[in-house]
Amino acid sequence: MTHQLIIDRAGPAVTLQDLGRPHRLAQGLSNGGAADRLALFEATAILGATGPLPAIEMAGFGGVFRTTVPMRFALTGATMAASIDDTALTWNRSYTLEPGQTLTLGAVIRGSYGYLTPASPILSDPWQHSQSTHLLAGIGQPIATGQAFELGPDPDAKRPDHKITPSDRFGGGFIRIVTGPQTELFDSQTLTRFLNTRFERSPQANRQGVRLDGADPFVANIPAGLASEFIQTGDIQMTGQGVPYVLLAECQTIGGYPRIATVIPADIPKMAQAPIGSYVEFDVIPLDQADQACPADAQILQSLRCQVSPCLRNPHDIPNLLGYQLISGMIAGTEFDEDPDDTVN
């Protein structure tokens, strides 16, 4: 019997993403992977998975999904209209989709990128150790209506549903940046104006980068014949017209446009998630502060694991309450405690 996730309908910018392919600059390949990596770690913590799982990333609009086996899944990242059959779902928690049910994820409500992560790992042929689609590099394709993925076994199928309160990163706001190797191409007046500008997140955005509107052009003093230099995710590049673009997961690896600063890794999720029309402002911080503000992936995940809690079902939401055996010798009363150690006196 095959275990499948069936995509009955997919929005226009739905892709399979994991953490991408790091350290391939020498091959001209940028990291790629989830636009909001934090959403993948949140899903990992919610599902109690040993490590990040491949997720369906949905920019702006979700899709309609069915499964052939009971499938635990987490919804993280940008909040989208969500339901299983006629029952509305809340975001940032796990559910189980049963065979015969339909999971519908609609338009984004807050943020830009929503994530559907099955606890039964989506199986697809990895390319260079990652299942991520990298559209700019021509690796993989957007997920299409009618497509189906094989699912691996859920190692923790009996785990109760969990939830998390995500860090608030879905409405734009202040984004922390550090100066970089090309900041000196901009005079101090231009840099000051950049830091004093309230930008509007443009509708022109994709996994490669997001355009910022609302300011006069920022012109650099470019040496004639400036050689292309390395780019990293978070770099704020000025186009030939002096329009800022913040480069995201699928950025090119080198380029000739001048870059004024770099968004720190910890604030990339906030930048990627800033919804169309939201306001964004930049705060420059010293490098040592950036180092402190950007923990390693393992630390981020460890911290999120401590933040998840079981979803206690509201009796009003249980249709056949009287059908449940509410008192049982198997229940010790501590199963749902957030931190079992606290119960020891």
Partner 1 sequence: MTAQNAAPFPCLLPFGVDSIVVRFAWTASDTATRAVQNFQRAITAAALPGVVETATALASVIISFDRGVTTRAVVCDQVQQILDSTDWTRTQPPPAQRIWHIPVAFGGDYGPQLDQVAQMISRTPDQAIAEITDTDLRVLSIGFAPGQPYIGLLDPHWNIPRQTELTPQVPAGALVVAVRQLVLFTNPSVTGWRQVGYCGFRPFLADRADPFALKLGDVLKFHAVSHSDMTTITASDDAGLGGARCESVSAA
CA distances from 160 to 182, 187, 320 (A): 50, 56, 19
Residue (of 183, 176, 169, 171) closest to 293 by Cα position: 176
319 binds partner 1 (CB under 8 A): no
From residue 141 to residue 160, the character string flagging contacts with partner 1 as x (rule: CB under 8 A) and all else as - is: --------------------
What are the tokens at 306?
A: 């401590």
Amino acid at 302: Q
Residue 246, phi then psi, degrees to nearest 5: -90, 125
Cβ proximity to partner 1: between 169 and 259 the closer is 259
1 binds partner 1 (CB under 8 A): no
Cβ proximity to partner 1: between 100 and 240 the closer is 240
Burial of 197 (0-12, 13-18, 19+ CB in 10 A): middle
87 binds partner 1 (CB under 8 A): no
The count of residues interacting with partner 1 (CB under 8 A) is 40
Among 60, 111, 234, 244, binds partner 1 (CB under 8 A): 234
Cβ proximity to partner 1: between 3 and 259 the closer is 259
Cα 133 to Cα 56: distance, rounded to the nearest angstrom: 10
262 binds partner 1 (CB under 8 A): yes
Residue (of 284, 212, 282, 206) closest to 249 by Cα position: 206
Cα 340 to Cα 336: distance, rounded to the nearest angstrom: 9
254 binds partner 1 (CB under 8 A): yes
Cα 88 to Cα 69: distance, rounded to the nearest angstrom: 21
Of 12-20, 147-155, 207-215, 229-237, the segment contacting partner 1 by CB under 8 A is 229-237
Cβ proximity to partner 1: between 83 and 253 the closer is 253
271 binds partner 1 (CB under 8 A): no
| CB 51 within 8 Å of CB 44 | yes
Cβ proximity to partner 1: between 120 and 183 the closer is 183
139 binds partner 1 (CB under 8 A): yes
Q: Which helix (H) or strand (E) holds 305?
A: helix 297-307
Of 74-82, 110-118, 159-167, 253-261, the segment contacting partner 1 by CB under 8 A is 253-261
Binding site for partner 1 (CB under 8 A): 22-29, 127-128, 136-139, 178, 180-181, 223-230, 232, 234, 252-255, 262, 264-265, 287, 290-291, 294, 296, 298
